[in-house]
Chain A
Amino acid sequence: MAVTDQAAASPVRGASAAPLRRPMRLFRNLSAKIATLPMILTATVIFVGCTGWTVVHSFTSSRLLPRLDFVGLDQYDRLWSTPKWYVAIQNLAVFGVLSLIFSLVIGFVLAALLDRKVRGEDVFRTIFLYPFALSFVVTGLVWQWLLNPELGIQGVVRDLGWTSFTFDPLYNRDLVIYGLLIAALWQGTGLVMCIMLAGLRSVDDEIWKAARVDGIPTWKTYTHVIIPMMRPVFVTALVLIASGIVKVYDLVVAMTQGGPGGASEVPAKYVMDAMFGAQNLGQGFAASTMMLLSVVIILIPWAYLEFGGRRRG
């Protein structure tokens, strides 16, 4: 951290005339330091401090109030022997893998379709992206209504004469996570499409021309040339979706409240219930530390790929 670098201590631009040594190093460039104080406090106190605080307290027996009496890994033992936590982790895994695959595929296909010099591209893009402006609460409530068994989609199809038609994911323990998935994909694929579209637009036209001259079919150009070229875009989208998935909370609360019978629990909701519902702070801290761990597991390979190769570049 303590790099003895004179240049780093002076304003980057225009201040080369400033004397190299001044008595009080701390007060140099003072306005900038004061102005960035909120940022510095956020980075240190909130992001580092509060995270560290939670991790430390996850090793304590805190219940109603945080207390510093350490009990080792007891909270984690209890966490991993709680069925509700298993359900939550399982749901997150299923939901996570499926929403990654589907949003990448759907997002890319929609972007590729829009990239075919479509008339009214703006209209289509506006339609595909508008759900992203809506909150998870609104999304969850709309889909809760659409998936209502008596009056929603199932009811409509049954009224049409297909009386045995069943589509009530929100009332089926095994299917509820797919109900959430439908709503989440409706809300989020527009964003992925936009990222992909930006990536496709950055592909040089010459590549398309060359592929056409060589007589390569369009779909093959996509799978063999364009997609490999767009690897960084895919990775960005992946990280973005993945870090969003871990946070899934409002959608579940609005759509199913964790039901039916706790079948749609997710880790974020487990944490909230433990901390603010059951007054079981230690469990909440342990569970949220596990969430942090999963993000770290996602991020480290990405950061390594992204920044490890070209340090100081």
Chain B
Amino acid sequence: MTAAAGSFGAFVAQARAAGRLVVQPRMGFSDTATSRAGLLATKRVAATTVGTLTIDSYTRVGDVAAADRALAAGVPLNGFPIVSHGAERTAAVLDGVRDTGFPVQVRHGSARPQEIVRTSLAAGLTATEGGPVSYCLPYSRMPLREAVGHWSRTAEILAAAPGGGAHVETFGGCMLGQLCPPSMLVAISVLEGLFFAQHGLRSVSLSYAQQVDEEQDEEAVHALRRLAAELLPGVDWHVVVYTYMGLYPKTPHGAAAVLEASARLAVRSGAARLIVKTEAEAWRIPTIAENTAALRLAAEVAAATRWADADPDPADTTVHTEARALVMAVLGLADTVAEALPEAFRLGYLDVPYCLHPDNAGRATGEIDPTGRLRWADTGSLPFRAGPATAGRGPTSTGLLAALSHLQRRYDRVPATAGAVDRPVLGVQMTITAPGPTTTQPGYLPPSPPEHLASPVTRAALRVQQQVLTAARSFLAGEEFIELLPPVIGPVTDPGVRGSKQLDVDYYGHRYKLMTSGILYKQASLLAFDKLFFIAPNVRAEPVETCNTRRHLAEFHQIDVEISGGTRADARRLAERLLVHVVRHVLRTAGDELTALGRDPVVFAELLREPFDVLTHTEAVAALHDLQYPQSADAEIEWEGEELLSHKARRPFFVTDYPKGSRGFYDRENPERPGTLRNFDLIVPGGYGELVSGSERESDYATIVTRMRETGENPAKYKWYLDMVRDGIPASAGFGMGLERLTRFLTGLDSVWQVNAYPKVPGLVAP
């Protein structure tokens, strides 16, 4: 159905037919002069605009007396007190401003809007917005049935307006602004649209508030259009998109980027109107100039974006399937939407995550999944089920904060332009928006030392690393571990390092080695202390082909821990607790650095839930075979396989029981399962791979000598070590946690060299 000529609906339809997106501010001032100036400024923007009168919060909750008093005393309100001003004064504000080329809409937020609507209509304002659910549950304690009653009467008043009735926009596409999965937003918007249509309104708009994933948002608007086409025949309707309504970016570039994304969303998904936000949003009520700047930017971006096809995408996306299930389940409850809505909330068919209203069931929860989409964490009593992997899990308080600020952090990160021209390498890093590293990039290598050291990325990463060191030391000291300073050279060093070569130094005519790990000295130090650790520099001439794995450095550091009399379980549990402690500390103390690096703390929410999962080597090999990866069952997990498992994981996990040939002689063989080791690796999610390697140690002299021979080592070389072992050393367990790898995981940087001040990438000669 086409809208009545000269109406709000007709204005939007004409713009849509001409390929222009209608843009509209959220503007509201208490005095008439500023209100008029704001409307005129909106009208003069070189774009297709609609004016807005947003009502103040006293009027919106029905406390007109308080609005009267504020007005009389000259105290500014946070919106236009339309009832206090009255229809005549309001009409005077609009005189000569509003016309068929510039409609004005009243926005209010009231669960009992009759007075506001009557005054609006008397002033000739026939476009408004709201809804029985969307203005009750999030902002009011009014029982839902009562709000439905008030909105029924309001809809009747609006339907009887002269000129074929008024236009009403549903606010159902917002619902708390964030963390409500899109299918629920679409369903409530459709149901409120149907509610208005059943009360005789012939022109409605259906809202959808931008969420956290651009592709998912497009699917949601297509789903909304598809359901409207199916369920609102004979009604003039269009879709209105709201720029993000949750925690808004604080930087000008971040605020502009979200606004631009919302304009692209509106055009690409076939919405007709966009309600913008400004760069002042995170701080205060925006000025007229900030509003008009936002309108101009949105219109420019919209004009440069290709429109969606006239018909909505017929694909059965998850959003569409879930939203349709919700709408149909509700419509099946009663003859009218007005009767069905309170019942649907009582049964939990409709359930808004985190909404504390007494009439909301509060069993369903939403979360941001590792790919950045909003999904159901728990579907409660909704008429469908989400994947079993997530059902029944709510967030932690830390996880909730991370999820709430997910979009803000993503857009507030350092802009892509900083240094991108002369530092193409960093430019690539900075523009990555997906969490975690992407593909290996040949040539992705350190710049010159001065450039590397001066880079804001390096400096932020090193500040994070400082917090890692602080946290690790205080945690281990608290557990009564003593820190020893490691040796740098010795007659022998750890041979059990896959593929890498040892580097020699001439020590008074003897060929000494640079330490590849501190293992031999850790075992020796057990003669002095029961619990000890090094933060040790290690040098390993890794094979040149590891220069592109992004997690190898020829010179690096380990947090190297050993526990006298410890078991593998003790070492594993300590590694787990150490990691969780470091992550918590860094989130608390280096939030600014993580934000600047674009690292979203939401990725750590899963990690903070101990204990981590455990896979045996055999199970890891089977998992790789399932992924079509040809991993040998008798060998070390290959780099690519490890990275693949890491990408598939949501949480850190241990791999245990490696085959004997894959590690050094000091890792103890399992007496119950000969051929396998009592060892473990810890793999972190997101493609960052192995972070920790550890084991129970072999302390028996004869066994060590045998194991040395099996691995091709000459026991004679290890004289000082074997002499000591023969005299007796304690049994122990321990691990090494890679410091640069840990810092890279925390910062989310693409390559491990980025977190080292003086990086030596395997095969490259560097200072």
The answer to whether A and B assemble together is no
